[in-house]
């Protein structure tokens, strides 16, 4: 068992918030077409308020801290916040577009011992990347930042979101990461805006576009293992949980709001009004999230994918019920294995007006 797995298991058993993602601002110098945030500043926490929250997180047992936004460097105090976090001995990861990082910022993050910096790149072609960010010259500036960070010996990840507007550029973007000597991650998830607006879901790729990606060992590892039919569902699966949100991880907005996850907009409290520990341990909403086991899921509990699906309770919540299925994850499971989910069978039955029909597995 790896140390990280052991830490997660112990945190789950003890109810410790092992990981916290905190957005220090929603302000951004880019206007990405798929972004789910409102970039207007509605009164973000002050430097001292955030430092006070970090103190509370350390006291609660948080170890992994993710700083994100918006664009974190839109805050002039950002490196001061990182310094405070490192003084508290958090393992710090920074998510940024890199546009405002130069040699000085890269050097300072290295001096502070930032564990990892993740930068968003959506295409290897400036005309595509810059059209997504709506900031001319942003690809060059981000790539320059990656080089500055690498020169300081920092661990860097190039993060890509797969959308209709860049789906043909995935291989080229992956090759760019290789040329830069950095890790690469690809996520096909486009989420509704935090205010419930679903218009940006039109940017989601057709699930058929995922098929060649699932057959790429550079992205998924062992293809035969990744794409194999789901294992039989046993009692351990049914008594388990589908996600770490609210169990070992949570999200804090720039305004102090606490949610189970950045993709799970269920308000559970606000650190401007309550202590973080009171929200984590005593919020009725957080307790409800924690109470839901796989066996309690209205559709997924009867699904053959129950033990292997990447079901996101936040996306399910935005579809209408945190106990329901996440349709996009159902589609991913189907395209990964060729086996239809219970939710897909249910929808097919409702559409036909007849009994459930078996959908033949897709040929891989």
Cβ atoms of 31 and 56 closer than 8 Å: no
Q: Are strands 64-68 and 183-187 parallel, antiparallel or unpaired?
A: unpaired
Best-predicted range by mean pLDDT (233-242, 274-283, 331-340): 274-283
Give me the count of residues in the chain: 364
Q: pLDDT digits over 138-173, tens only?
A: 999 999 999 999 999 999 999 999 999 999 999 999
DSSP state of 185: E
- pLDDT for 194 equals 78
Task: Quote the pLDDT of residue 197.
Answer: 84
C-alpha distances out from residue 279 to 48, 57, 210, 285, 357, Å: 20, 12, 38, 9, 45
| Strand spans (E) along 153-263 | 156-161, 183-187, 249-252, 257-259
Q: Which of 136, 18, 35, 33 is nearest to 95 (CA)?
A: 35
Q: 44-48, 170-174, 192-196, 279-283 — which is least confidently predicted?
A: 192-196
Give helix 138-151 / helix 170-180 axis angle, nearest 10°.
Answer: 30
Measured distance CA(79)–CA(235) in Å, rounded? 47
Half-sphere exposure of 250 (CA within 13 A, CB side): 35
Report how far residue 29's alpha carbon sits from residue 34's, in angstroms, rounded to the nearest whole number. 15
CA distances, 266 to each of 195, 287, 359 (Å): 11, 12, 35
pLDDT of residue 354: 56
Sign, CA torsion 336/341/343/349 = positive
Q: Is residue 361 very low, low, confident or very high in pLDDT (cuts 50, 70, 90)?
A: very low
292-306 pLDDT, tens digit each: 999 999 999 999 999
Are 81 and 75 a contacting pair, CB within 8 Å?
A: yes
Average pLDDT over residues 220-240: 91
pLDDT tens, 91-106? Answer: 999 999 999 999 999 9
């Amino acid at each position: 068992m790896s140390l990280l797995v052991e830490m997660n298991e112990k945190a789950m058993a003890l109810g410790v918030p092992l990981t916290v993602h905190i957005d220090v601002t929603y302000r951004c110098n880019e206007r990405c077409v798929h972004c789910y945030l409102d970039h207007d500043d509605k009164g973000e926490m002050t430097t001292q308020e955030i430092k006070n929250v970090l103190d509370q997180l350390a006291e609660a047992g948080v170890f992994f801290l993710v700083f994100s936004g918006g664009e974190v460097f839109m805050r002039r105090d950002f490196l001061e916040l990182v310094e405070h976090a490192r003084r508290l001995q958090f393992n710090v990861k920074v998510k940024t577009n890199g546009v405002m990082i130069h040699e000085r910022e890269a050097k300072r993050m290295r001096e502070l011992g930032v564990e990892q910096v993740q930068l968003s790149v959506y295409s290897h072609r400036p005309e595509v990347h810059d059209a997504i960010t709506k900031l001319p010259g942003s690809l060059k500036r981000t790539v320059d930042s990656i080089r500055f960070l690498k020169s300081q010996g920092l661990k860097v990840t190039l993060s890509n979101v797969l959308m209709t507007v860049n789906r043909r550029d995935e291989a080229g973007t992956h090759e760019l990461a290789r040329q830069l000597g950095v890790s690469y991650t690809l996520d096909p998830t486009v989420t509704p805006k935090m205010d419930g607006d679903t218009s940006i879901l039109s940017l989601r790729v057709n699930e058929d576009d995922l098929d060649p990606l699932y057959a790429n060992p550079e992205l998924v590892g062992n293809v035969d293992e990744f794409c194999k039919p789901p294992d039989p569902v046993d009692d351990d699966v049914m008594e388990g949980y589908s996600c770490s949100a609210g169990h070992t991880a949570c999200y804090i907005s720039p305004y102090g709001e606490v949610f189970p996850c950045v993709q799970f907009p269920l308000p559970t409290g606000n650190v401007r009004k309550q202590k973080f520990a009171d929200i984590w341990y005593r919020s009725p909403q957080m307790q409800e999230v924690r109470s839901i086991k796989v066996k309690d899921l209205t559709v997924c509990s009867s699904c053959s994918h129950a033990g292997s699906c990447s079901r996101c309770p936040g996306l399910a919540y935005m579809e209408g019920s945190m106990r329901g299925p996440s349709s996009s994850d159902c589609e991913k499971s189907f395209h990964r294995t060729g086996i239809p989910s219970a939710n897909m069978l249910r929808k097919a039955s409702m559409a036909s007006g007849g009994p459930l029909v078996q959908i033949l597995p897709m040929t891989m």
